[in-house]
Structure 1
């Protein structure tokens, strides 16, 4: 039985979040949480929180089992681009440069290894 957790419109670039998502893909849940809690990148905090939410969702769906006993793994992690806020930055000679403030959507699916 799979469990899904989603994070929408987190204000960081999708490329930066994908670097961290690639690290935890396919890992056991406890190991992935340990890596995320000690990772220096600022994106690690919301990703760890999202992983805890996916574990909790799995426990709700499988109330007869414990997450520690089930040998859960991070089955799928994918990061999509979210909304883009377009802002203007002053530039020389009366011009304006466009600044694109990107955001992303993250989806985590956890499942038991069996």
Structure 2
């Protein structure tokens, strides 16, 4: 099974990226990540992230084992070139080419047997019956904070006075 991950418009020239790709081509992804940690080139960090993304794609989208994966293809193509100008001698301008790269990574691996993976029904815990006194509800605020609220039997309602209501810190 082939897993493809792409990195487009990388602002490093293809020649410099290819020098780093040559180090990790044909390795297992975990070995490639270990190699890239010690490569001093600037292109090593985006390639490191690309390999991690490809591994995550293989695990989550295709349910492949990470141990069986291998880098089968690591291709670096040229992207669009940004043409700029800088001042040159004697009032002239000299052209600059800011090159970009498109990197394509293809991993190959074997699919996990479906019988070895647990289905969603097997993973689910058995449903336990609970008395209504023990029931706890969870509510989220607009800010995403969670609040645990027990039934009204357990929590006494505290009444706020007229003064508190009249002199609120913020207006409604």
Fold conserved between structures, TM > 0.5: yes
**1:79 counterpart SS class:** strand
Q: Distance in 2 between matches of 1:35 and 1:58?
A: 20
**Structure 1 residue 61 displacement after superposition:** 3.0
Aligned length: 111
CA contact (8 A) 1:25 1:77 kept: yes
Determine if the alignment matches structure 1 residue 93 to structure 2 residue 90. yes
CA contact (8 A) 2:8 2:102 kept: yes
- Give per-residue Cα distances to partners, 1:78-101, cap 9 Å, x unaligned: 000011111111011111000001
Q: Structure 2-normalised TM-score?
A: 0.61
Determine if the alignment matches structure 1 residue 17 to structure 2 residue 17. yes
Q: In structure 1, list runs of 5 or more residues that go unmatched.
A: none
Q: Which structure has the highest helix share of the two?
A: 1
**Among residues 98, 102, 105, which one is paired with 2:102 in the alignment?**
105
CA contact (8 A) 1:73 1:113 kept: no
Q: Which structure has the highest strand share of the two?
A: 1
Q: Distance in 1 between matches of 2:54 and 2:30?
A: 13
CA contact (8 A) 2:14 2:78 kept: yes
Q: In structure 2, list runs of 5 or more residues that go unmatched.
A: 112-172
